[in-house]
């Protein structure tokens, strides 16, 4: 969101110079979005020793470094020497690294905004989270220092994997934004619901990738991810006034990313079905997920204490995609077996599949 202050109150700029800065502020959001960074415009205050933030925009394409607005904040020369230097001398200050107000490692770039005579009247500041870059730099550094070829290979592999996950995560973010944009263009409730289903499927896949991209790990704790999916779905789709809780029982289970993604999608559909179909006109409900593994076999049960299924799970209409997707993922991706245990006291779905290459304890 872009916010800007009444410039005339805080600076001694001419009308034309103020108009120039206002113009620039209207483009600030696009700049923040394309550079995946927080961007600000600062002006010099009379006296020449302090600067003030007159406009800001947080990116929609990446997490912001700031939880609160800094609009109107005054920066002293000691705290922001780069900003003051650029404001007074009109020279850019690029690539400084520092710690943000919220304690995140960031890179700050400052460029002057000049009027038609070339006089600096404000600065454009870009601040971007670079904690991931730093982590990778450290890995590359230790890579350069490692002479052990096996260790080297392991490091290269983990760097490449992390980079791939990172790109996948970004792509999923772009797809979600596109769908959300398209969804807003429709006034039909049905169309919006279809989009929301797709968005929730993508979010569940993204959760798996977030997990992988975070530390460059190759395996995912599916118990942890299922908990996250539950929280996400409850917060985004439960009707106000209704109390539906999702519980995940069992031990942590680490699976390779392809199996973890399939399982995340399966659980996404089953939880969503519970929320959508099991608790009509009920005030509360419980959805329980239990994970067990024995040797190379994984057993997963998703149950709810709702009204039960009225349709036969085996002759589902082609119009409903959810359970067809579940069946396909369980049978084809996980090489497993899916069974339904519908009753009037709720629905229980069980999934059983082997983990290949598992070292049996
Ligand atoms: N936990 C449940 N409790 C009660 N009924 C259920 C439950 N799960 C599924 N159903 C019934 O089975 C039908 C098929 O489910 P399915 O997930 O395939 O489709 P959907 O949820 O209607 O649509 P979609 O998942 O494609 O958005 C549902 O419409 C609903 O009637
Ligand atoms: Mg469904």
- CB of 328 shorter than 6 A to ligand 1: no
Residue that is written with structure tokens 């961007």 in the block: 39
Query: CB of 200 closer than 6 A to ligand 1?
Result: no
Protein residue with its CA nearest to atom 30 in ligand 1:
277
CA of 244 to the centre of ligand 1 (A): 17
- Alpha carbon dihedral 336, 341, 346, 348, in 10-degree steps, equals -20
Q: What is the pLDDT confidence band of residue 358, given thresholds at 50, 70 and 90?
A: low
User: Does any domain span residue 308?
Assistant: yes
Which residues is 289 bridged to in the sheet? 248, 302
Confirm whether 205 is domain-assigned.
no
Residue 262 CB–ligand 1 contact under 6 Å: no
pLDDT over threshold 80, residue 347: yes
pLDDT band at 297 (very low <50, low <70, confident <90, very high): very high
Residue 115 lies in a domain: yes
- How far, in Å, from the CA of 336 to the mean position of ligand 1? 21
pLDDT confidence band for 135 (50 / 70 / 90): confident
Question: For residue 350, how far is its CA from the centre of ligand 2 (angstroms)?
Answer: 16
Q: Is 309 in the pocket of ligand 1 (CB under 6 A)?
A: yes
Q: Would you state the pLDDT for residue 353?
A: 94
Answer for the pair 211, 225: CB distance below 8 angstroms, yes or no: yes
Choice among 17-26, 168-177, 298-307 with the minimum mean pLDDT: 168-177
From the CA of 349, give the closest atom in ligand 1: 1
pLDDT digits (tens, 9 = 90+) for 242-295: 999 999 999 999 998 889 989 999 999 999 999 999 999 899 999 999 999 988
The percentage of residues in the chain with a pLDDT greater than 70, rounded to a whole number, is: 93
Q: Which atom of ligand 1 is nearest to the CA of 316?
A: 14
Q: What does the pLDDT read at residue 318?
A: 62
Residue 181 within any structural domain of the chain: no
**pLDDT over 80 at 304, yes or no:** yes
Give the 3-state secondary structure percentages of the chain, helix then strand then coil, rounded to 5: 45, 25, 30
Q: Count CA within 13 A, CB hemisphere, residue 24.
A: 26
Q: Which of 129, 147, 172 is the last residue of a domain?
A: 129
Does some domain include residue 186? Answer: no
Query: Hey, CA dihedral for 321, 323, 328, 333, is it positive or negative?
Result: positive
CB atoms within 10 A of CB 284: 10
Of 129, 148, 182, the residue that ends a domain is: 129
The helix-helix angle for 189-215 and 257-273 (nearest 10°) equals 150
**pLDDT tens per residue, range 76-104:** 888 888 999 999 999 999 988 888 777 78
| Residue 144, pLDDT above cutoff 80 | no
Query: Does a structural domain hold residue 174?
Result: no
Determine the distance separating the centroid of ligand 1 and the alpha carbon of 277, expressed in angstroms.
Answer: 6
Spell out a b/e string for 117-156, using b for 16 or more CB atoms within 10 Å of the CB, else e.
eeebbbbbbbbbbbeeeebbeebeeebeeeeeeeeeeebe
Residue 241 reports pLDDT greater than 90: no
Q: Are residues 121 and 229 in the same domain?
A: no
Closest ligand 1 atom to 274 CA: 1
Residue 45 phi, psi dihedral angles, 5° rounding: -90, 155
Q: Minimal CA–CA distance to 134: which of 167, 182, 99, 177? A: 99
Provide the mean pLDDT of the chain: 87
Residue 341 and residue 240 share a domain? yes
**Which band of pLDDT confidence, cut at 50, 70 and 90, is reported for residue 3?**
low
Task: Tell me the CATH number at 299.
Answer: 3.30.565.10
Averaging pLDDT over each range in 55-59, 97-101, 157-161, 311-315, which range is the top one? 55-59
Determine the Cα–Cα distance for residues 257 and 286; give it in Å rounded to an integer: 28
- The structure tokens listed for 262 are 């399939």
User: Domain check: are 125 and 231 in the same one?
Assistant: no
Span of 63-67, 127-131, 205-209 with lowest mean pLDDT: 205-209
Give a yes or no: residue 184 inside a domain: no
Give me the DSSP letters along 334-358.
Answer: S--EEEEEEETTEEEEEEEEEPTTP
Is residue 297 left, alpha or beta, with left meaning phi > 0 and alpha meaning psi from -120 to 50? beta
Q: Predicted confidence band at 9 (pLDDT cuts at 50, 70, 90)? A: low
- Domain membership of residue 264 (yes or no) is yes
Q: Does 273 contact ligand 1 (Cβ within 6 A)?
A: yes
Closest CA to 270 of 162, 347, 332: 347
- Domain span at residue 96? 3-129
Cα–Cα distance measured from residue 2 to residue 22, given in angstroms and rounded to the nearest whole number: 11
Cα torsion at 353, 343, 285, 210 (round to 10°)?
20
| Domain final position from 129, 154, 176 | 129
Nearest by Cα to 256 from 356, 352, 169, 163: 356
Number of domains in the chain: 2
Q: What is the 3-state secondary structure (H, E, C) of 99-152?
A: ECCCCCEEEEEEEEEECCCCCEEEEEEEEEECHHHHHHHHHHHHHHHCCCHHHH
Q: Cα–Cα distance between 225 and 211 in angstroms, integer?
A: 8
Percent of the chain with pLDDT over 90: 45
Of all protein residues, the one whose alpha carbon is nearest to atom 20 of ligand 1 is 320
Q: Is the pLDDT of residue 125 over 90?
A: yes
Greatest distance between any 2 Cα atoms in the chain: 79
């Amino acid at each position: 969101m872009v916010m800007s202050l009444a410039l005339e109150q805080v600076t001694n700029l001419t009308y034309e110079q103020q108009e120039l800065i206002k113009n620039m502020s209207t483009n600030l959001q696009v700049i923040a979005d394309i550079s995946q960074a927080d961007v600000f415009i600062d002006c010099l205050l009379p006296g020449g020793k302090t600067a003030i933030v007159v406009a800001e925009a947080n990116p929609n394409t990446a997490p912001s470094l700031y939880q609160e607005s800094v609009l109107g904040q005054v920066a002293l020369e000691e705290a922001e020497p780069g900003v003051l230097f650029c404001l007074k001398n009109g020279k850019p200050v690029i690539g400084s690294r520092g710690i943000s107000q919220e304690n995140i490692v960031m890179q700050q770039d400052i460029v002057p905004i000049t009027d038609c005579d070339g006089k600096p009247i404000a600065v454009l500041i870009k601040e971007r989270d670079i904690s991931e870059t730093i982590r990778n730099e450290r890995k590359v550094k230790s890579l350069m220092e490692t002479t052990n070829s096996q260790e080297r290979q392991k490091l290269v592999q983990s760097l490449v994997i992390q980079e791939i996950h990172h790109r996948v995560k970004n792509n999923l973010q772009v797809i979600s934004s596109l769908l959300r944009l398209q969804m807003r263009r429709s006034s039909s409730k049905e169309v919006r619901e279809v989009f929301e289903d797709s968005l929730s499927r993508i979010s569940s896949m993204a959760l798996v990738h977030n997990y992988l991209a975070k530390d460059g790990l190759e395996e995912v704790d599916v118990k942890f991810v299922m908990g996250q999916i539950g929280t996400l779905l409850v917060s985004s789709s439960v009707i106000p006034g209704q109390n539906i809780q999702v519980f995940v029982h069992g031990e942590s289970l680490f699976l390779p990313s392809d199996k973890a993604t399939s399982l995340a999608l399966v659980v996404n559909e089953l939880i969503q079905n519970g929320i959508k179909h099991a608790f009509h006109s009920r005030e509360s409900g419980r959805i329980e997920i239990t994970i067990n593994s024995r040797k190379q076999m994984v057993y997963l049960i998703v149950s709810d204490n709702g009204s039960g299924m009225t349709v036969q799970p085996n002759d589902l209409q082609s119009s409903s995609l959810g359970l067809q997707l579940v069946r396909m993922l369980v049978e084809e991706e996980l090489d497993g077996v899916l069974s339904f245990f519908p009753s009037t006291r709720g629905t229980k779905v069980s999934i059983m599949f082997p983990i290949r290459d598992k070292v049996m304890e």
